[in-house]
Each structure stands twice: as C-alpha cells, then as structure tokens.
Structure 1
Amino acid sequence: MTTTHISTMTTPSLLSPALADPGQPVPAARALGVARIAIGLVQGLILYVLSEQLQDRTRLTMHGMLLHSLLLMGLFIPTMVISGLSHMRVRKLGLWVLLLALLIPALMVHDIWRTDLSAWLLEPALGAWRDSARYVSHPSPQLMLLLPLGLFIAQAMVLAGSHDRRWVAGYPSYFAWAWKLSLQVIFAALFIAALWLILFTGAALFELLKIHFLGNLIGRSWFFIPVTTLACAAAMHLTDVKPAIIANMRKLLLTMLSWLLPLAVLIVAGFLVSLCSNGLQPLWVTGHATAVLLGTAALMVVLINMVYQDGLSTEAPPERLIVWSLRAACALLLPLVALAVYALGLRVSQYGWTPERLYGALGIAVASIYAAGYAIALRRAERLAGLAPVNVSASFAILAVSLATLSPLADPARIAVADQLARVRSGQIAPEQMDLPFMRDDGQRYGVRALAEITQSSDPQLASLREKSQLALQSKNGWQIGAADEERKREVGSNVRMHPAGRELPLEISLKYWPSYVRHDAVPECLRSGASECDGYFIRPPGARRDQLLIIDMYSKPMLLAQDAEDDWEILGTFPIDSSCLPLLRDILEGKGLQWKASSQYELRLGQVAVPLVPSKPGEATCEQ
C-alpha cells in the first residue's frame, strides 16, 4: 500500500497552521492539545446544560425545535472543530462551522415540523398528541442515522480539499482522510469504553467497603457528560498527533480484511449461480430481498476498497488471488444491484411506495453508481484507475441523497402519501384499499393533512373514505383504526375462489385472525385481507381422513391447511415451487388429475417433478397457545 505524502509547511500560529498531511506529525502538539481539551470541556458543559433542560420539561423543552437543534449542534460541531484544528485555516474552518450551524438546525426544524399534526387532528387524538409532543418530541431515527453519516463524509471531503487546496481533492487525500477519521472514531470509542470500565470497576471496589462516593459521582450527569466529551477530545488529539499509530493500524487492518474479499466473491457468485437453477421466486417470498441485496452490495463495495485503497500499488502489489477477486467483485456488483431493482420494482408495482421502499430506491441509486462505474472501470485500465472517480462521485451522491431525504425535497413520507392518493384517483387500487393506518401514523403531517382534505373533498372517488378518514383523525394511532375497522377491512371469504364449484371457504378460516407469518411461513394475503384474491382447492392427500385446503396465489408459496383434533384450521406447510409452475398446478387441480408420490410425507406430482411438502417449523410458545 502506498499513501501520498505531502510535505508540511511550518507556521508560528496554532490557529493558522500548516495544512497537515494525515500521515505527518502535527506541529505545536501541546498547545493544540490544550485547545482541543478546552473545546471538549466546553462541549460537555453545553450538553450537560441542555440535558438538564430536557429533563426539566418546563423551559426549553416546550420549544422542541430549538432545544434539539442546540443539542445536535452541541454534539457534532465541537467534534468537527476538534477534527479540523491544525488541518484547516481559520477562515475556512469558521465558514465550515457557520455552514454547519445553519444546516443542522434547518434539518432538525424540518424533522420536528413534519411531525406537527395539531392543525388536523380531532379530539381525543389531538389531546393525546399534545401530551406526547410535549415530552416525546425527539429527532427521528432517519435523521440520527443519515446526519452523522453525511457529516462524516463531508468532514473527510472538507479536510481533503483543504489539504490539497482544491474544491475537489485528489483521490489519495480522500482515501487518507476518510480512513483517518474512521480509525479516530474507533479509537475514541475504545478509549471512552476503557475509561468507563475503569471507573465502574473502581466504584464496585469501593462499594465492597461501603463507600458510595465514586458510584454516586459517576451517575451524576454533571460528571459523566463532561468526562465523556473530554475523553473523546483527548483520544482524537492523541490519534492526530501520533499519525504513525493511524498509518500502521490502517495498513494492518486493510491487509487483513482484504483477504475476506475472495470468500465474499465465492459466496456471492455461488448465490447468483444458484438463482439460475432455483429461480427468483424464493427471493420475492421473503419480502426483504431488496434490503439483503443492497446490504450485500454495500459489503462488496467496502471490501473492494479495502483492496484498492488509494490505488493498486506497483511497488507492493496485492497477491494475484486478491487482484482477481477484486476484478470479480467489481463485475458481481451489477447483477446484485439489478436484482435489487427488480425486487423493489415488483413491490412498488403491486403495493405502491412506502417510506421504506423509497429509502431502498435511494440506496439503489447510489449502488447503481458503484455498480456501473466499477463495471466500466474493468474495461479501461489494468490498475483499475477508474474506481477512484467512481468512489468520489458516489460520495457526493450519498451527501445529496441524505440531504434531500432529510428535507422537504425528497421526504419519503410526503412522496409515499402522494403515491397512495394517486393510486386511488387513477383506479389502480380501490378506495377501501388505502392504507389508513400508514396515513395516520407513518405519513406524518402529509398523511394527516391528506386525511383532513379527504373529509372535505367532493371527489366521488373518495366518497367511501370520508367516514374512515374522520375516524382516523379521531384515533390516537393507526392500531385503533385497524381495530375499529377490522370487520369491514377483512371480508375474507368472497375473495377466495373455491374449487370445486359450490364449495365455500370454511367459516373458521374466514373469521380467524392470520398474522403475516405463522411459524416462519408467509401467510397468503387473501387470508388476511379482502383486498387480495386467491384460489382454494379442497384436496385429500393419501391417508388423510378429511379434506384439506390448498391455497394458491401469485405472490407466495402454495400453502396446505388442515383441521387439527379440535377442528381448528392450521397450516401444515408449503410447497416450494416456482411461480412458473403455478399454471400447471392449477390445470392439474381443476382437471382432478392431482397425483401424489408414495412417500413418508406429502409430495405433489407435477409431470416428472415431485414437490415435497415443507412442514411448518414449530414456533415459540406464546401465552395464546
């Protein structure tokens, strides 16, 4: 591995230092350490005061936007300043801090604003919302996930740009700074964990002597918050002025982890080859294929860059096996992302957009940059120089996607609510199929406002939704809507086409509550909601004393139900066949030519293929069992 080293320029001022290379010692280490410790102490005191306000529930707590904006700024901005000292000029560092001081509160304000439902809710939901909003108005999980990720990428880019004195830095600088920040975060976390382990151990020792001072001290917020921020500042300073630690650890870590790439390539290639024989149906049955495929693609990208580093070195090239694995991994990304696109497209075409699917689509957009770029890079150069601009472009894309998602520009809740209304108005779904619990809970202010507009709408297409929307605005949450509207929503029975003609779906099945999964088997949607249709066939396998019911739809595996000793209908298992086999199975069932292969368990006979029944796995015991 080689890392570009740029010589440092000396300067007499600490606050206007040389733009230090991440691999070179930092000048004026002692004065710099004092400055960073002081920032860490001030950060701890600020966070302590704000945390007390959060617990007080009478002052700033009444202004959630302001309080949480201050908390986020107190959490992230001092850390950015500590990281930038000695590596950015004072003017640039000041402008960067000013930009963060504007951006972070803006995102926080939007995050809380989107949860403000007071203008549309009706009693008793309005009273419940006001009580909860007063005390439980916290940043959303997506903000707390995407904001640190975006700030990390932006900080690495800003530091690299300051080092190279360019708006867009060279790839070796991006690589060096990103890994330096990553290892600083890891070392800081380990340092803080070790510090608190020692303090807790000391408290336990003194407790043996009935001395409670230390145990009481470390439980006080005025102690543990500043101590933690001081420890973080000290750890970041030590790893900054001792760059050899970072360089050696980075080299060791990347060398070790690069040997995982051949294993990952073997597994992913085996998975893709298996799809050729098993088909795609098993992927869609899981319901989370897109997330798994995107996670696998992300892992491959990380492993690829652990081998590539800041460019394949000619002085100390990787082993030939690693290089071939690198090229194979670049090629395997494209089919993984293509499968993710197909899986997500199926779900969206069937059920429309949800916030989760929108996050998946944005993830696919970023993954597509990596997949297409890496595939093109395979054709352009022997040392895969094309990977560098792809990584930089993808980093900018991640920043843009994060910012758009956390702002009104691409708020997933807003887009999903608009899609629900558009599907109803276009006739893609019946008004009764609109997901009211989603609109009430997960649609945020956009969903609740849409419900309020439906109650006042004169659109004949929405007439059947007015009463339900009124009920939703009065309900404290989506679960209440489901409970109040249970009988009207389900209507299971008429949506199941029974065979032979004249037979009806047993009343016990239509009235029974079926969750999404029973003993790890996906239950067909038609048994849970009248919005989906399927076919039911009464059959009698060899040795069965009574008729059993085979349920077939297009989106899940055929499922066999039978009555137990207490005449209650239960799931016996499923037949793992591809969707391409369903027409043949229907023809055989309707022609009464179903054959069973002699076996210790049920096996359907489809031409020359025997399909065994996969029994339901025993589930965990519950209080209802």
Structure 2
Amino acid sequence: MTAERLRLVLGATGAVAGFAYYILLEEQALAMAPASLHRFVVYFAIAFFPAFGLLAGPLLPAVAALRAAIIATALSLLVVLAGLRFTVDRPSDILEPASSGLMIGPFLLLVTLLIPLSVTRQWFDYATFFRSAWSAALKTIIALLFLLLFWAVYFLSNALLELVGIDILDDLASEEVFSITLSGAVLGVVLAIAFELDELITTILRLVFGLLRLLLLPVTAVATLFVIAALVQGLDVVFSQRSAAGTMLAMTAGAMLLVIATLGTKDEDFARHLILLWSLRILGAALPIMVSIAIYALWLRIGEYGWTPDRLAGILAAAVALIFTLPVAAYALPSRSDWQRHVRNGLLWSVLATVGIAILWFTPLLDAQRISARSQLARLTGGLTDPATYSYYPLAHEWGKAGKNALDSFKAMKPGPEVQSLIAAAERADNKWAAEQVATRAGNASSWRQLFARIETRPAAATLPPIEDVASDSLAHSPPNGHNASCLQENEPRCIAVAGDFLPRVSGIEWAIVSQQYPGTYPQVTLLYSDAGVWHFSSFGVDFSAEDDADLISILRDRPLEWIDPGVRGLAIGNTTLMPMNPRN
C-alpha cells in the first residue's frame, strides 16, 4: 500500500473511531439495548480501532482489520462474561460497573499485549514481540504529542481570527463531536506517517535504549540498598509506611523496564559493558526479594482486613512482577551459558503468563467480586470486623450481584438498629463518599462512646454529655484518633476531661479533653461545647512547654486547676496553657 493511501485509510479510521466513541460513550446511543450487547459494542470499539491502527502499518489493511477484529471480539466476549456479575443501574455502568478501573484496566492490558503478539504468525519470537511493543509505544507517544501540538496551533489560530471577529474555529471546537472526530483523524494520519519512517523509529529506539541503560546502575544500587536495609532493620519499618507494596511493585516494574532495554531485542543489541552485566546479575537477586516483601505486605493487609477486588488485583499484579523477575534470577544471576537468550525467552513466557492471568480475571475462576463478598461476609459474621464501623457501600454498589447477595445474607441475621441504619444509608447513597460519611459518623461515635466510658473527669462528679447529643456533622469531622492511644491503654489511661466555662460568651459549661501518651510528648486537646442544646467538637490552641511540665496528666490530677481569661477562658497546667479556639469568633 502506498504511503498516501495508508494516510487516507488511517485518517478515515481515526475519524470513524472518534465519532464512534462519541456516539457510544457520550451520547449513549445503545442505552436502551440489552446490557450485554451494549457492553460488547463499546468494548469492541475500544479494542478494534487502536489494534487496527497499530497493525495496519506492518500488515496489509485487510489482514490488520481481521486480526484486530479477532482481538476485539475475543476480549469483548470476556468482558461480557465478567459483566454478568453486575446489574446495570445507569449507562455509565456499562464501561466500568465497579467504578475502580478493574474491568477497563485489565482489558486495555490485554489489548496492549495482544497487538505486538499479532504482528507476525511467528508469535513466539522475542525480537518481533518486543520490537513491535516498543515501536507501538513510541509511535503512540509521538501521535499523542503531535495531537497536543495540533490543538495548541488550532486554539492559537482561533485567537488570531477572533481579533478580526471570525469565530468559526471556536464554534467548531465547542461541538464535542467535531473535536473528538478531528482528534481521531489527526492521530490516524500521524500513525501512518510514523509507519513510513520505521527506520527513524528504530534509530530513536536505540537512543531510548541507550538512555534507559544509564539508569540501570543507580536503580540497581537503590534496589540493593533497600533490600539490605529492609532485611537488617526488619520488615516492620517497611510496613509502617503507607502504600509500601505499591511503591515496591512500581520500582520493580521500572527496574524490569531497564532490564529489557539493556537486553535489547537480539544479541547484537545487548549492552555488554561489565557494569551493566553485574547490574543485571545483582537485580536478579534483589528484585525477587523486593517483590516477595511486597507480596507479604499485601498478604498481611488481607489477613487484617479481608479480600477486596483491589487487594486481589494487587496480589495478581505482584505475582506478575515476580514472574517477570524469575528469568533474570534464574539465568542472569548464575551467568549460565547463552543466558541472554534464556532470559529473553523467559520474559516472553512471562508475557504469555500475564495474558493468561488477565484472561482468567474475567472468568468465574477469578471472580473478584464473589471472592471479596464471601471474605467480608465471613469477617462480619465471624467477629473479625466491627459491623458498627464497616463501610457497606462496596457490597451495596460496587461488588455486583455477589456483593448484594452477601449484604442480604448479613441483613437476614438481624444486626442491631445502628448497623441496619448504616446498611440502609449505604444502599441509598448516590456515591461512596456520602455512604462513608455516615459510616465515619457511626465509627467516630462508637470510638468517642468507648472513650467517654473510660475517661477520668475533673471535677470527679461531673458527667460528660451522651455522645448521642453531639452534632452528626461534628462527629463526621472529629475522630478521636489522637486520644485513643492515651485513653484506651490497658494499664493507666493518660487522659482527663476537664469541665469549665472555657467560652464565657457561650452559656453553659464546656469540656477540655486532654490526653498525653507519654510524659514530655505533645498533648492532644479537644474542646466540647454546647450550642442550643447540641454539642460540638472544636480545638484548642496549645502553648506547650515540655521542659517544665512534661507530665500534664499528673499535674491535672494532683494540683488545683489554674484558670486564665484572655477573652476566652483557658487552663494553665504549670507553665503550659490550653486556650480554646472560640467558634463564635
């Protein structure tokens, strides 16, 4: 096919793709069709057009269209199968019923992997697969960058024409169908031009490989240092950090990208510098350990909170990462004969294993919603999860039929009225945030109630108000987290609630809830005040002197209260002063 004809074909295909996406996703043209048919057509379009665009260069258009159609049909049927787990309550549920990317994400991963596998009949060929994958990625990036440049020129041209009162470009761009269709056409033409310059693309890839190889040594050093430090200091240090497993898996993915760039697509491309060789071998030892730590971190999380679709996806992602690191560990680390070829073949097997795992994700064998719903129901009924603080929204709205069935089973056990109100609120909620606000209020109320039952008061005869009299909005935004460690410890609770007229301009008595986990540590102080019979939480300004008055709790217990009154009334504990932040000012 001539270059001009390929530009015409891909430009027209891109325009049709843009128009189809607009009709299917924005206008919801098939909203009245059966959900399975609607989902099949949407996902077919999502897969077919990119696959055809990236295959039409190396293959004849007819062959590219056939292979793209096979990919799109097979994957769309998988999505339809997985979609049977869900009920469609609104049109947006067609694309992503779980609202967490766990359907569209694996689908796009499969499309991305199957396109380079479809370039040639010799699909089990490392050089062909990775050269096609790198080339497709580079061409896509070039096309997207040019699209940004195109629209920058477009809007600059519009600004120029508006100076003379011509608004046609602005009028066209304001029509969403025009913008999306034109963007598709531009992407198609740029892809066609990129296919014409395959030799230049190959040269750019060599440059990219060379630049990525520069990062191999520092990444190896960081990964090795992390593994050694984690093993020496203990894993508790690692697990105390937020998103530890995600960070380790992201680092592993980046390191494997550098390994693949260093290996090249064939022996002639292999970087044989001694430093790079040793870096590969060291990574062969470090990366499996890092991934194993990430898997252990995820497993601890699952043991503590049970399965969810996100955690199951995380475990599978970690398994894929481990699969990719094993060929490097098996062949590069011992430096066996012809180890580069063995590593490349192992990586290709890893790609095929990833395809297999992603396919299983859409089948009943890895029904994430069913697995998660059973896990959470078992925890709720087995006493491992507190029903009064649990968020029921995922069961009610995100985990499909399995989640709703699990929730119905739990409701049939007749939980208490507070739990029933939480479930009802989750079922009524339009979004997860609204449901979690209700759950947060209930959880905070339960925590404050437990704290109020144990806290010491001054004067001793004074009684804290019932938690039911605290405003719900105040409960939602005032968790007692800062007090729990001090007030709920087994030996000697280190917290005191002091009654006093902290806000002279507000009628009635207020409370200062003071906790200090250890002598010398900064205290946690919360103000509790009444407004028209409804109690609210607020905060204190604390001028803390750790040197002179380290043990505030002992001072409050053993000494008379000292009051100060700078407009509002504060409390002096030795040289430490507590001042409420007046909610009326």
Q: TM-score, normalised by structure 1?
A: 0.69
> Alpha carbons of 1:486 and 1:397: their partners in 2 closer, same or farther (altered >3 Å)?
same
Task: Tell me the CA shift for residue 224 of structure 1.
Answer: 2.3
1:437 matched to 2:393: yes
The answer (yes or no) to whether the contact 1:62–1:134 under 8 Å persists in 2 is: no
Query: Partner residue of 2:570?
Result: none
2:31 aligned residue: 61
Query: Which whole-Å deviations, capped at 9, do the CAs of 1:552-592 have from their partners, x for residues lacking one?
Result: 9xxxxx986433799977899xxxxxxxxxxxxxxxxxxxx
Of 31-40 and 245-254, more deviation after overlay is shown by 31-40
2:106 to 146, 155, 168: 146
Matches within 5 A, 1:493-504: none
Q: CA deviation at 1:36?
A: 2.8
CA contact (8 A) 1:561 1:570 kept: no
Match of 1:342 in 2: 296
1:40 aligned residue: 14
- Alignment partner of 1:62: what SS? coil
1:138 deviation in Å? Answer: 4.1
Contact 2:48/2:69 (8 A) holds in 1? no
CA distance in 2, matches of 1:537, 1:561: 16
- Out of 239, 242, 246, the residue aligned to residue 284 of structure 1 is 239
Tell me the distance in 2 between the aligned counterparts of 1:487 and 1:52.
38
Does 1:102 find its partner at 2:73?
yes
- 1:552-567 pair list within 5 angstroms: 561-563=523-525
| Pick aligned residue for 1:185 from 114, 137, 140 | 140
Residue matched to 1:303: 258
In structure 1, what is the Cα distance between the partners aligned to 2:372 and 2:584? 36
Structure 2 equivalent of residue 158 of structure 1 = 118
2:395 and 2:403 in contact (8 A); partners too: yes
Instruction: Go from structure 1 to structure 2 and tell me whether the alpha carbon gap of 1:413 and 1:525 turns closer, same or farther (over 3 Å shift).
Output: farther
Q: Which moved more, 1:77-86 or 1:459-468?
A: 459-468
Counterpart residue number, 1:412: 368
> Pick from 340, 355, 373: which aligns with 2:327?
373
Which of 55, 74, 77 matches 2:45? 74
Q: TM-score, normalised by structure 2?
A: 0.73
Q: Structure 2: which amino acid aligns with 1:286?
A: Q
- In structure 1, what residue type is equivalent to 2:257? V
Structure 2 CA distance for aligned equivalents of residues 477 and 44 of structure 1: 30
Alpha-carbon distance in 1 for matches of 2:387, 2:528? 39
3-state DSSP of counterpart to 2:340: coil
Deviation for aligned residue 1:396? 1.7
Q: Which residue identity is paired with 1:85?
A: A
Aligned match of 1:590: none
Task: Give the alignment partner of residue 174 of structure 2, picking from 219, 224, 237.
Answer: 219
Deviations 1:308-356 (A, max 9, x none): 122454x874432222222222221012111101211211111111222
1:209–1:517 Cα change, 3 Å: farther
Q: Are 1:539 and 1:547, in contact at CA under 8 Å, matched by a contact in 2?
A: no
Following superposition, the deviation at residue 420 of structure 1 comes to: 1.0
2-structure distance, mates of 1:571, 1:290: 38
Contact 1:258 1:303 in 2 (8 A): yes
Q: Is 2:378 aligned against 1:422?
A: yes
Deviation at 1:215, TM superposition (A): 1.8
8 Å CA contact 2:173, 2:179 repeated in 1 = yes
Amino acid in the other structure paired with 1:151: V
Match of 2:286 in 1: 332
* Paired residues of 1:454 and 1:469 also in contact (CA < 8 A): no
Please tell me whether the aligned partners of residues 41 and 230 of structure 1 are also in contact (alpha carbons under 8 angstroms): yes
Match of 1:269 among 189, 214, 224: 224
Partner residue, 2:509: none
Equivalent residues of 1:153, 1:395 under 8 A apart: yes
State whether residues 475 and 481 of structure 1, in contact with CA within 8 Å, keep that contact through their aligned partners in structure 2.
no
Q: Are 1:84 and 2:55 an aligned pair?
A: yes
The aligned residue for residue 129 of structure 2 is: 174
In structure 1, C-alpha distance between the alignment counterparts of 2:118 and 2:301, rounded to whole Å: 39
Matched, 1:491 2:446: yes
Whichever residue aligns with residue 524 of structure 2, its letter is A
Output one character per residue of 1:408-461: Cα deviation in whole Å (capped at 9) or x when no partner: 442322221111123345554465565423322333332122222334x4x689
- 1:61 is paired with a residue whose SS is coil
**Within the alignment, does 1:238 sit opposite 2:238 as a pair?**
no
Query: Does the 8 Å CA contact 1:114/1:446 hold for their aligned counterparts?
Result: yes
Aligned residue number for residue 349 of structure 2: 393
Counterpart Cα distance in 1 of 2:245 and 2:232: 20
2: distance between equivalents of 1:206 and 1:374?
58
How many angstroms apart in 1 are the aligned matches of 2:425 and 2:528?
38
CA distance in 2, matches of 1:368, 1:239: 35
Q: Report the residue type matching 1:394 in the other structure.
A: S
Q: State how far apart, in whole Å, the 1-side matches of 2:362 and 2:172 are.
A: 39
**What does residue 582 of structure 1 align with?**
none
> What letter is aligned with 1:340?
A
Query: Any conservation in 2 of the 1:65–1:109 contact (CA below 8 Å)?
Result: yes
In 1, the alpha carbon distance for the partners of 2:484 and 2:397 equals 24
**Contact 1:184/1:236, CA 8 A, preserved across alignment:** yes
- What residue identity is the alignment partner of 2:358? S
Q: Percent identity?
A: 20
Name the Cα RMSD after superposition.
4.5
Specify whether residues 373 and 422 from structure 1 end up closer, same or farther in structure 2 by C-alpha distance, changes over 3 A only: farther
CA contact (8 A) 1:61 1:135 kept: no
2:568 alignment partner in structure 1: none
| Structure 1 residue 280 displacement after superposition | 2.6
What is the CA distance between 1:243 and its match in structure 2? 1.0
Question: Which runs of no fewer than 5 residues in structure 1 stay unpaired?
Answer: 1-13, 15-27, 118-129, 541-545, 553-557, 573-596, 603-622
The residue identity in structure 1 corresponding to 2:139 is: Q
Unaligned runs of 5+ in 2: 496-511, 530-537, 552-582
- In structure 2, what is the Cα distance between the partners aligned to 1:384 and 1:347? 37
Q: SS at 1:283's partner residue? A: helix
